Amino acid sequence: MRYRRMPIEVESPEELGYDTITNNLSESSVADRKLSDLGLDLDLDELVLCYGDHLGDPVLRQAVATGHAGIEPDHVIVTPGAAAALFCVATSLLDRGDHAIVVRTNYATNLETPRTIGADLDVVDLAYDQAWKLDLDEVADKIRPGTTRLISVTCPHNPTGTMLGHDDLKRLVGLAERAEAVLLVDETYRDLTHTGERIPLAATLSPNVVSVSSMSKAYGLPGIRIGWAVTTDPEMHETLLAAKEQVVICGSTIDEHIAGRVLSERKRILPPIVADVRERLDLVDAWLAGQDTFEWIRPSGGVVGLVRFREEVEVDEQRFHHELLATHGTYVGPGHWFEVSDRSFRLGFGWPTHAELAAGLDALLLAAADARR
């Protein structure tokens, strides 16, 4: 494989330098946490820093499995972030020329790894005019029974924040089963949903499914690099473990210990985070309703949405992004991170302080005025 760095990583705020941005609306998680924020009273001094269980810390795997029908801790493989889980899934399933169907827009890795492998990639584009709803008929049409190896979707979705309904998910599972393909569901935002409907962990529905998630987004802990893949298929499970062992053998003892404690106490830790995210979502939605330059489809999950200039707004989008940061200290995720025009951008509403979020929204209109044609 010949790797190339993706724009979303090269231009990420941490690579740019957090100190160069005042209002950081480019992040895709809630605010990053310190250990002392978590109220865990951890005693890391006594932790033995051994090679750990290759599947991952049993306490953490138990916490991941709890509450999901038919999922046992041994169905879980802990990985260094969801990113590594996605990489292991793609490289385990795909060789050069293998057929894969992947949704776009998407978290960039979900497109980039199959591409780097040289897979025969069929992209299903989401459309604003269909409220970013995945067109399942198009997915069905693109399937080549017995040939398609991977169908890859993300729910809740990054960067649009839309979700699959339960029936849609079941239909996708059926499509994958009939095609003898694997359905990868990137569920990294699973714990952050804003509608009543809570769809099941996709891997509970069929051995043809791999669910992926992590501690990064809902818990604000991307620095402990803990994610996981879940599958009930023994062969897939064994292959994913082999992939993990070839890269890292096992995970970080410290990271897994912290994640295990956090996830075991999610009933205490998660609700205030979700309540705060929903408050922010309402704030951004109300702001969007009160102006006529930008539009979005209100996200149903996660902490990001894909905002775009209204069609009639004539603007130099490169100048907009330049002015936004250089003059107004505000950063968003430009469309090219997601293979769409820079007239769209990902707005992350979970990470900045409330004051920075409000200032960032004001800055969007100021930079749009600077860049009008």
Ligand X SMILES: Cc1ncc(COP(=O)(O)O)c(C=O)c1O
Which structure tokens are listed for 353? 């302080």
**Site for ligand X (CB under 6 A): which residue of 113, 116, 148, 158?**
158
**Choices 76-84, 94-102, 196-204, 264-272 (CB under 6 A): range interacting with ligand X:** 76-84
Up-side HSE of residue 24: CA atoms within 13 Å toward CB?
20
Q: Residue from 21, 55, 64, 83 that binds ligand X (CB under 6 A)?
A: 83
Does 162 sit near ligand X (CB under 6 A)?
no
Query: 228: which strand partners?
Result: 78, 213
Q: Give the Cα separation of 126 and 295 in Å (integer).
A: 16
Give the shortest CB-249-to-ligand X separation in angstroms.
18
Residues 241, 238: Cα–Cα separation, whole Å = 5
Q: Is 186 in the site for ligand X (CB under 6 A)?
A: yes
- Residue 191: CB minimum distance to ligand X, A: 12
Q: Measured between alpha carbons, how far is 106 from 113 in angstroms, rounded to an integer?
A: 12
Site for ligand X in 85-144 (CB under 6 A): 107
Rounded to 5 degrees, what are φ and ψ at 62? -65, -45
Nearer to ligand X, 261 or 328 (CB): 261
Binding residues for ligand X, rule CB under 6 A, total: 13
Select from 23, 26, 28, 231 the one that contacts ligand X (CB under 6 A).
28
81 contacts ligand X (rule: CB under 6 A) = yes
Is 330 a binder of ligand X (CB under 6 A)? no
Least Å distance between CB 214 and ligand X?
3
Cβ 41 to ligand X shortest distance, Å = 25
One-letter identity of residue 81: G
Distance in angstroms (rounded) separating the CA atoms of residues 300 and 294: 19
Is 188 a binding residue for ligand X by CB under 6 A? The answer is: yes
224 neighbors 259 (Cβ within 8 angstroms): yes
Q: Which two tokens stand for residue 264?
A: 């075991």
> Which C-beta is closer to ligand X: that of 83 or that of 163?
83
**CA dist., res. 358 & res. 262, Å (int):** 30
Site string for ligand X, 259-278 (x = CB under 6 A): --------------------
| Closest approach of ligand X to the CB of residue 345, in Å | 15
d(CA 206, CA 41): 39
- Select the residue interacting with ligand X from 24, 148, 160, 216 (CB under 6 A): 216
Q: What angle do CA 187, 188, 191 make, to 5 degrees?
A: 85
Least Å distance, CB 80 to ligand X, is 7
148 binds ligand X (CB under 6 A): no
Stretch of 34-42, 214-222, 328-336, 362-370 lying at the interface with ligand X (CB under 6 A):
214-222
Q: Is 214 in the site for ligand X (CB under 6 A)?
A: yes
Taking CB under 6 A as the criterion, the residue among 227, 251, 260, 350 binding ligand X is: 227
Q: From the CB of 48, what's the least distance to ligand X, in Å?
A: 26
By the rule CB under 6 A, 348 interacts with ligand X? no
d(CA 63, CA 56): 12
Q: Is 349 in the site for ligand X (CB under 6 A)?
A: no
Pick between residue 222 and residue 335 the one whose CB is nearest to ligand X: 222
Helix axes 354-370, 317-326, angle to 10 degrees: 140
- What tokens does 134 get? 């995945």
| Residues 6 or more apart whose Cβ sits within 8 Å of residue 231 | 75, 203, 207, 209, 210, 211, 237, 240
Instruction: Return the number of the residue (64 or 82) whose C-beta is nearest ligand X.
Output: 82
Judged by DSSP in three states, 174 sits in helix
CB 41 within 8 A of CB 237: no
Least spacing, CB of residue 320 vs ligand X, in Å: 23
SS3 content of the chain, % helix, strand, coil (to 5): 45, 15, 40
Residues at the contact surface with ligand X, assessed by CB under 6 A? 28, 81-83, 107, 154, 158, 186, 188, 214, 216, 222, 227
